[in-house]
Structure 1
């Protein structure tokens, strides 16, 4: 059995290699090419090429029209997926850089399709992120990330969000009602840092920076234990000074 298994490995790898060569050959012909031409350019026997081309077409990596094969939609999804992963890695690397430089957890969140979405967090065992003990989406009124995002919405979108996620106290320090929250949000400029102290998690203070990325609402934030509250504003100002270099990856991340 071992000999049979080992003998099968090169065959499977060879099939993948041949399929990739066919995809490369098809990619060189935007208007498509017939099987015989692709087989010749890929250096693959025609019977084998036919089998692989049918499989690739079935999986949408190729499409067959009028006797020629061209790249299919699945190839585009691979390319987009790779770009998304690369940009996400860039975002995570950037957050990790500022986490290490400032020594605090760093968060990035967006407001997408009517909901608060925490996209990425960078923390360490020595500087852990706030535990999401109550759903961030439903408690945006209580934490700095949510308040910062809600503050960037127009009045209609903000009221719609609060209709779906009513203002309810999360801790003894949380905003008590919708009217008070709206007054607070209207008093803070769209470009100002938002600070909350123990409103979402007891023993924790947070600050969030609004991110300008087209018409979308986004934010970066940091958190600290209450006994380190004196570090909060200097730390968030340090982060804000470095955000300009992150805007490319942040803007892309809004659309991920």
Structure 2
């Protein structure tokens, strides 16, 4: 990754640090140090030392599942990268998960498909197992239905034409007309009452910015204590609005 130093004035330590940042900035998931070392071609010991320094300076930050970009990165690299999008998403998901005590998920529509960007588990409530990929289950999951609701009519019909409405549970809406009516009915939030997988409920609100159609969702076991849905939606919408503003300001389309 490092370029040649013909006149002997380049600092190898800086080049190695940039290589580490490049790897994290272009990753779609948090990366452990070993993965960063392998991708950058650096030794594990050198990578640990660089990571420790970059975390101290706020360029990288530790998460339970690996490293992501830190709060100072946007001032160094304003261009759009998957890593920047992940860092923004993770901050919001940790906020929502910590506040509500449940698993939180961010999804987005890109290249004609629904993609899960990131998931943060609740402190005592694990995330819903994604046993069917999001590209084949948007009609059954709250986060997928939220995105389908916000698509232009032409894009929504194109998506449904390419994806059969599989009956994932006894509660799944598998009739096209019924699903379209459902999508038009729930405009501010979408809910999944054991439609994707038995034993879990899911609630989703929109996340929208220039070039971004997404959804912020929370999941919890069906046997969990009853919640004030209206209050939870209000708090989620507040977090989603802040994230939408951040994504728009960063130009992360």
Q: 2:175 aligns with which of 174, 177, 188?
A: 177
Higher Rg of the two aligned structures? 1
- The question of 1:196 aligning with 2:196 is answered no
Q: 2:134 aligns with which of 131, 136, 140?
A: 136
Residues 52-75 of structure 1: per-residue CA shift (max 9 Å, x gap): xxxxxxxxxxxxxxxxxxxxxxxx
Structure 1 residue runs of 5 or longer lacking an equivalent are 1-13, 22-77
CA distance in 1, matches of 2:210, 2:223: 37
The count of residues paired between Structure 1 and Structure 2 equals 186
- The question of 1:222 aligning with 2:212 is answered no
Contact 1:223–1:232 (Cα < 8 Å) also in 2: no
Bigger shift: residues 210-219 or 151-160: 210-219
Contact 2:97–2:121 (Cα < 8 Å) also in 1: yes
Q: 2:241 aligns with which of 239, 244, 254?
A: 244
Question: Secondary structure in 1 aligned to 2:226?
Answer: helix
Which residue of structure 1 lines up, in the alignment, with residue 102 of structure 2?
A: 104
Residues 150-201 of structure 1: per-residue CA shift (max 9 Å, x gap): 0111221111101111112110000021121112112232xx1111100001
TM-score by length of 2: 0.64
Which residue of structure 2 lines up, in the alignment, with residue 114 of structure 1?
A: 112
CA distance in 2, matches of 1:18, 1:104: 44
Contact 1:91–1:250 (Cα < 8 Å) also in 2: no
Structure 2 residue runs of 5 or longer lacking an equivalent are 1-7, 16-75
Residues 190-226 of structure 1: per-residue CA shift (max 9 Å, x gap): xx11111000010111111012313532110111111
Instruction: For 1:82-93, list aligned pairs within 5 A.
Output: 84-93=82-91
CA distance in 1, matches of 2:126, 2:250: 23
TM-score by length of 1: 0.63
Call closer, same or farther: CA 1:195–1:162 in 2, change over 3 Å: same
Call closer, same or farther: CA 1:90–1:182 in 2, change over 3 Å: closer
Alignment root-mean-square deviation, CA:
3.0
Q: 1:17 aligns with which of 6, 11, 27?
A: 11
CA distance in 2, matches of 1:197, 1:169: 14
